[in-house]
Chain A
Amino acid sequence: MRGRFTFLAGCVLVGLILVVAAVSLVWLPYDPADTSGGRLAPPGGAHLLGTDKLGRDLLTQLMVGARIALTVGIGSVLVGGLLGVAGGLIAGFATRWLDDALSAVLDILIAFPTLLLAMLVVAAREASLGSAILAIGLAMSGVVARLTRILVKRVLAQDYITAARTSGTSWPRVVAEHVLPNIWPTLLVNLSLQLGLAVLAEASLSYLGLGPPPPNASWGRLLQEAQATVLTSPTGAIAPGVLLVVLVVGVNLVADGFRDLADPTRRRTR
């Protein structure tokens, strides 16, 4: 019962951000570049959450930020998930030297600081939404591949794989029918946790100016811009921070719920 509650709570939190992002596609209170609101207007009145130091409506910025956070989060999970699962499957099936070689590459990738990797990607391309997704996804793929590799190795050692093989099932079928379904629950939980981490990573990159450039109002950049005026107008720093927490906590709760839902042995005991 507790599991179901946390899952629902997570869905509500994530759903909230999803709705905000969806609404931002069709309606915004102001134009994101509209600076007519006056500098650092307090919350209330025409501007529900006030304005930033350039006079832009904060609510508008936050709504656009939700869109960016979700785009980067989902995008980098797609990139990192595809690369990671593919690499992990290959390493999981590989024996000896190929497995050792891939493991060494993954070790280096995991040990490489995400921020440094992001700086390299940004230097090679440019600071953009795509660069952020690529950098975060690449950093994520190492961890995902590592996990996939060990999950595959564990499943391959099981009797039911040998049993399927003795009945003449080909390797591609074994992967599709037995390996992927059996590693999927754990992967799904990890990928959802990675989504939360990716959102945080995007905020960090943007805070450092390595994320999508202005006028894209990423939450991380809103935090950075509000830093200088946090004592006089705290809303500008608190609001994006709260939204970040809501999204990341929501994603983590959903990830927890997935673990219970995906495993039939847990499903019954609940």
Chain B
Amino acid sequence: MTLLDVSGLAVRRADGHRLVGDVSFALDAGERLALIGESGSGKSLTALAVMGLLPAGMTAHGSVLLGGTQMIGAPDRTLNRVRGRTAAVIFQEPLTALDPLMRVGRQIAGPLRRRGLRGAALRAAVRAALDEVRLPERVARAYPHEISGGQRQRVAIAMALACEPAVLIADEPTTALDVTVQAEVLALLDGLVAGRGMALLFISHDLAVVAEVADRVVVLKDGSPVESGRTRDIVGQPRHAYTRALVDSARALEGELDRLAP
């Protein structure tokens, strides 16, 4: 059975305007798929639609099967059983994705409690979760504003992994970070996904990052997929003009670096 099967997904505003249209892809255990496109191309809406969490006033159409559960049109109670356990999300901006008034340890404990952990076992699980994302134990007592951006994103990763999801959705997880921290967080994410045999749905606008982590790519433009296939093929021989523009601009940046420091 496919872990995540999206077919003919469309997202519409209340006035009928189509924001995402006809997106289809499938994801199995251990697979890594990237959604790539410029801002406003519907990448994040697709991720939210997969979780059944579209903003008020938007509706999803088509079919999203997550671990066998139809996510479109299902009641909240059904969705809550799937959320976090079958799939979890890491967001772009770690500062706003963490509750500013809650200590980091308690935030990580939140999803852990859903696994029935309490008391000493819960505290041990929080320590283990911090350790897994290479954060020192004292971070548990800090508030989000007291730690660095990279540390915050590690906390967000720890929270996402707390329920041991089968699918990890990473929505631009490194965009808000410094380039050096980006590499660290990407490496960490890469290791964790491989180690747990999770499926990864990676959302990004950065072709270089996508080339590093994803095996397959779906290129979105204005809410519709324009091209999809293996990352190597797409980067090597882009067929659609938009994909070619993406590849060319990524190469141009790299060429600039080569020119300055050959």
Contacts and interface: CB of A to CB of B under 8 A. Distances in A.
Nearest to A171: B76
B125 to A, nearest CB: 15
Contact of B89 (A95, A166, A171, A182): A166
Contact of B80 (A158, A162, A170): A170
Given A167-B162, A168-B163, A171-B76, A182 B81 contact: no
B111 interface: yes
A170 B97 contact: no
B160 A165 contact: no
A112 interface: no
A138 B13 CA distance: 39
A53 interface: no
Contacts of B87: 166
Contact of B110 (A162, A167, A185): A167
Contact of A182 (B101, B114, B160): B101
Interface string A157-201: 011101111111111000001100110010000000000000000
Contacts of A164: 99, 110
B163 to A, nearest CB: 6
B80 A168 contact: yes
B88 A167 contact: yes
Contact of A159 (B56, B81, B96): B96
B145 interface: yes
B135 interface: no
A164 to B, nearest CB: 7
Contacts of B57: 95
A268 interface: yes
B93 interface: yes
Interface residues of A, number: 23
A160 B98 contact: yes
Interface in A216-270: 263-265, 268
A202 to B, nearest CB: 34
Interface string B73-99: 000110111111101110101001111
Interface in B37-87: 48, 51, 53, 56-57, 76-77, 79-85, 87
Given A166-B84, A171-B76, A264-B143, A159 B101 contact: no
B102 interface: yes
A96 to B, nearest CB: 8
B110 A169 contact: yes
B100 interface: yes
Nearest to B94: A159
B114 A159 contact: no
Given A167-B163, A264-B143, A159 B97 contact: yes
Nearest to B81: A168
Interface residues of B, number: 37
A158 B77 CA distance: 22
Contact of B85 (A168, A170, A182): A168
Given A169-B80, A171-B76, A177 B110 contact: yes
A108 B145 CA distance: 40
B147 to A, nearest CB: 12
Interface in B145-169: 145-146, 156, 159-160, 162-163
B154 to A, nearest CB: 14
Interface string A136-160: 0000000000000000000000111
Interface-central residue, A158, A164, A268, by most chain B CB under 10 Å: A164
B83 A168 contact: yes
Interface string B114-152: 100000000000000000000000000001011000000
A163 B97 contact: yes
B101 A168 contact: no
By Cβ-Cβ distance, the 10 closest A-B pairs, closest first, are A168-B84, A168-B83, A167-B84, A159-B96, A166-B89, A159-B97, A167-B111, A168-B80, A160-B99, A163-B97
30 contacts: A95-B56, A95-B57, A159-B97, A160-B96, A160-B97, A160-B99, A162-B48, A162-B91, A162-B97, A165-B51, A165-B83, A166-B53, A166-B88, A167-B83, A167-B88, A167-B111, A167-B114, A167-B159, A167-B163, A168-B80, A168-B81, A168-B85, A168-B111, A168-B114, A169-B80, A171-B76, A182-B99, A263-B101, A264-B101, A264-B145
Interface of B: 48, 51, 53, 56-57, 76-77, 79-85, 87-89, 91, 93, 96-102, 110-111, 114, 143, 145-146, 156, 159-160, 162-163
